[in-house]
Structure 1
Amino acid sequence: MTTPKPHRRAALGAVAAASLLASPAIAQSSPTIRWRLTSSFPKQLDTIFGTNVILAKYLAEATDNRFQLLPFGPGEIVPGFGALDAVQNNTVECAQTALYFYTGKEPALAVGTGLPFGLNARLQNSWWQFGGGETITNEILARFNVVSFASGNSGAQMGGFFRKELQSPADLQGLKFRIGGLGGQVLAKLGAVPQQLPAGDVYPALERGTLDAAEFVGPADDEKLGFGKVAKYYYAPGWWEGGAMMHLVVNKDRLAELPPSYRAILAQACEAANNWMLGKYDASNPPALRRMLASGIELRVFPQSIMEASLKAANELYAELSAKNADFKRAYDSMMAFRTEALPWWQLNELNYDIFMARTRGRS
């Protein structure tokens, strides 16, 4: 065996020393982390809850299984509407939820999910990324010691299931309606009685008649929840959720403890999950709607008089909230400025294209 020359021995020694130093450094910068993720949405909903599974998959793949999310359904650790509190208190590290569930804590959070007569899914994403939405929302959430990442969108939702048909705004008087967020406050101005119930409690309430109507998301989820078996009139559109954004809310202290690479991977994984959820809904809603109609559910569109009355009531509500809540006014004004700028282009191009294609869909 030939003995290495002195300069080669020195080089080999340097490589060996470097490798001894590098291995612990790599291990230190890529620690094994397991976070609990509680969701506000039932496990049976394979698009909303399934987004948690996809997000966990993306994180695991990008970190060689070193950064793991463990998704839990509502009630397994905390109730569905307790997700934000659980993250704030570090009961869990993160949660998938809709920020409009927490308007009782801070009305401005509703803008982060999407307001009645607000933005559609694409414009909500655009406002979040480029119109100030992310900055404004996270400055508000800092008071709760959490940070939010956009991690999904439902697209335009359906208007829900009703036990009786609607002819005019007068039919909303006394209507007991399961609806979340500021949409419930808008309808309350028109005489409805909004109820915020977890998904699992809605069916028996509709069946017993303690609810007259209920909305959830759209056909893909509504079919699974079975509301059409006890309330056969299915209305469109869900004007209170033209593009409802879901969020991953993360405890601010736990996020700060992550290596920078993990924080970057988490942000990118949430963006990928955001795209996945909307794509999944666009693929699964049409066949689900066909199956529901074949089962006897009757499709309806809200009368124009109800749409106009609801828009008027929404604008009144926003003026009231803006007058007494500076954070809501800031978020609302930002969203409205973005909408004012975006809608003329949308009307000219995107909307005209979609209308033409829908009108001529049988020709090819």
Structure 2
Amino acid sequence: MSDTTKINKREFFKRAGLATAGAVGATTLAMPHVRAQAPIRWRLQTYAGPALAEHVVANAIEWFNTAANGEMEIELYTADQLVPHGELFRAVQQGTIDAAQSDDDSAAAPVDVKVFGAYFPLASRYSLDVPALWHWRGLKEIWEEAYAEIPGVTWLSTGAWDPCNFGTTKPINSLADLRGLRVYTFPTAGQFLSRYGVIPVSLPYEDVEPALQTGELDGICWCGITELHTVGWANVLKYYLTNPLSGAWAGSYFVNSDKWNALPPHLQQLYRMMIDSSHYYRQHWYWAGEASYRINGNLELTTIPAAEWKQVETDAVAFWDEIAAQSERSARVVEIIKQYNADMEKAGAPYRY
């Protein structure tokens, strides 16, 4: 090695240090910059108590939190846990909570279409009627229009839950047996049922079972037979009326508008996919459960004869007309429901029998 190429130990380590620093610099530049930050956290309150929430929303939130991969986390709260259910919509609007899962009616949404949430009497026969009405008959666009007028809350989706039937401590075999029954139910359903002498009762969700045990309530018209068994109400009831007040509960997902708009698009899309997964799970869970619990459940089945129940169906259409008179938008919804049911009749089995 010539003198011009010789380097001493000091020079060697100096050059080695520069090379190492260059390598580190190159590696740093080649790697994407990752900013360490805490995940976005939301609080969502559902209409459902703890046992039911496991099936109607908790599983979907678990899927979302996993898929969000640390970028976002949703904390679930059950019925009345953070705010009373009747104040749920306002709580989302004010930002007290970030999101809610409920029907429009019992959450006291300040829109004219809220009466069609939950169980609008005899508007549907099966659970698939709800998504068909919203996605293919124009209700989705009407809901978007209605909630666009309300500041602070964004409506995202409506899907189907279980049918609405009476679960009671006394047998119901005729319309006359409804008279005087104190029943836990939804606001609009109670308004309709009162014409048969039913006395609607409003209670916190967790007070329903004790009220049935003490005789303060004679029954509920809140859900189908799957929910009666899942939440334990079937243990303090004796009878289940097979005539449905409605084929499916129409429930929605709401979010605080500011919190929603602040989410990056990929998390918004993930949230919408979570909602759709939740809707799909309930379709098959309820459909299987309604049949299974009629066969294997704790309750004795009773039925009002079809000829007598026909009066309820006729009264329901008259009730629809009363609601239609409340606003132009409500009239549009009623017209869609009427046309849809007429079409289902024309289509025949299995759509209508």
Q: TM-score, normalised by structure 1?
A: 0.80
Shift of 1:227: 3.4
Shift of 1:125: 0.5
Shift of 1:68: 1.4
Q: 1:273 to 1:225 in 2, by over 3 A?
A: closer
Q: 1:103 to 1:66 in 2, by over 3 A?
A: closer
Q: Is the 2:119–2:189 Cα contact (8 Å) retained in structure 1? A: no
Are positions 1:251 and 2:256 aligned together?
yes
Choose the corresponding residue for 1:69, options 69, 74, 78: 74
Choose the corresponding residue for 1:300, options 299, 302, 308: 302
Equivalences for residues 118-137 of structure 1 within 5 A: 118-119=123-124, 120-137=126-143
For 1:192, the equivalent position in structure 2 comes to 198
Q: How far, CA to CA, are the matches of 2:326 and 2:289 in structure 1?
A: 41
Choose the corresponding residue for 2:64, options 43, 59, 71: 59
Which consecutive residues of structure 1, in runs of 5 or more, have no partner in the other structure? 1-12, 353-364
Q: In the TM superposition, what whole-angstrom CA distance separates every residue of 1:198-246 from its partner, at most 9, and x where no partner exists?
A: 332222222222222213322332124443444312111322x312132
Choose the corresponding residue for 1:273, options 270, 278, 281: 278
SS of the equivalent of 1:237 reads: coil
Shift of 1:61: 3.0
For 2:87, the equivalent position in structure 1 comes to 82
Equivalences for residues 132-281 of structure 1 within 5 A: 132-142=138-148, 143=150, 145-150=152-157, 152-157=159-164, 159-239=165-245, 241-281=246-286
Q: Is the 2:85–2:106 Cα contact (8 Å) retained in structure 1? A: no
Higher helix share: 1
Q: How far, CA to CA, are the matches of 2:185 and 2:117 in structure 1?
A: 17
Shift of 1:300: 0.7
Q: 1:114 to 1:338 in 2, by over 3 A?
A: farther
Q: In the TM superposition, what whole-angstrom CA distance separates every residue of 1:57-80 from its partner, at most 9, and x where no partner exists?
A: 222233213121110112321123
SS of the equivalent of 1:255 reads: helix
Are positions 1:23 and 2:33 aligned together?
yes
Amino acid at match of 2:33: S
Which consecutive residues of structure 2, in runs of 5 or more, have no partner in the other structure? 1-24
Q: How far, CA to CA, are the matches of 1:102 and 1:214 in structure 2?
A: 18
Q: How far, CA to CA, are the matches of 2:234 and 2:75 in structure 1?
A: 33
Of 218-227 and 120-129, deviating more is 218-227
SS of the equivalent of 1:214 reads: strand
Shift of 1:102: 4.3
Choose the corresponding residue for 2:329, options 327, 330, 342: 327
SS of the equivalent of 2:320 reads: helix
For 2:39, the equivalent position in structure 1 comes to 32
Q: How many residues matched?
A: 331
Q: In the TM superposition, what whole-angstrom CA distance separates every residue of 1:103-127 from its partner, at most 9, and x where no partner exists?
A: 6844522324452111221121122
Q: In the TM superposition, what whole-angstrom CA distance separates every residue of 1:298-324 from its partner, at most 9, and x where no partner exists?
A: 111233355223223322222122113
Q: Is the 1:99–1:113 Cα contact (8 Å) retained in structure 2? A: yes
Q: Is the 1:151–1:270 Cα contact (8 Å) retained in structure 2? A: no
Choose the corresponding residue for 2:114, options 77, 102, 109: 109
Q: 1:252 to 1:334 in 2, by over 3 A?
A: farther
SS of the equivalent of 2:222 reads: coil
SS of the equivalent of 1:23 reads: coil
Q: Is the 1:40–1:81 Cα contact (8 Å) retained in structure 2? A: no
Q: In the TM superposition, what whole-angstrom CA distance separates every residue of 1:26-67 from its partner, at most 9, and x where no partner exists?
A: x59x9831100111110122xx44332222222223321312
Choose the corresponding residue for 1:311, options 293, 310, 313: 313
Q: In the TM superposition, what whole-angstrom CA distance separates every residue of 1:143-179 from its partner, at most 9, and x where no partner exists?
A: 153222336532434x222233334333333222211
Q: How far, CA to CA, are the matches of 1:333 and 1:103 in structure 2?
A: 24
Q: How far, CA to CA, are the matches of 1:107 and 1:343 in structure 2?
A: 28
Of 144-153 and 207-216, deviating more is 144-153
What RMSD in Å do the two structures reach over aligned CA positions? 3.1
Q: 1:80 to 1:333 in 2, by over 3 A?
A: same
Q: Is the 2:88–2:107 Cα contact (8 Å) retained in structure 1? A: no
Equivalences for residues 41-56 of structure 1 within 5 A: 41-45=48-52, 48-56=53-61
Bigger Cα Rg: 2
Q: Is the 2:85–2:107 Cα contact (8 Å) retained in structure 1? A: no
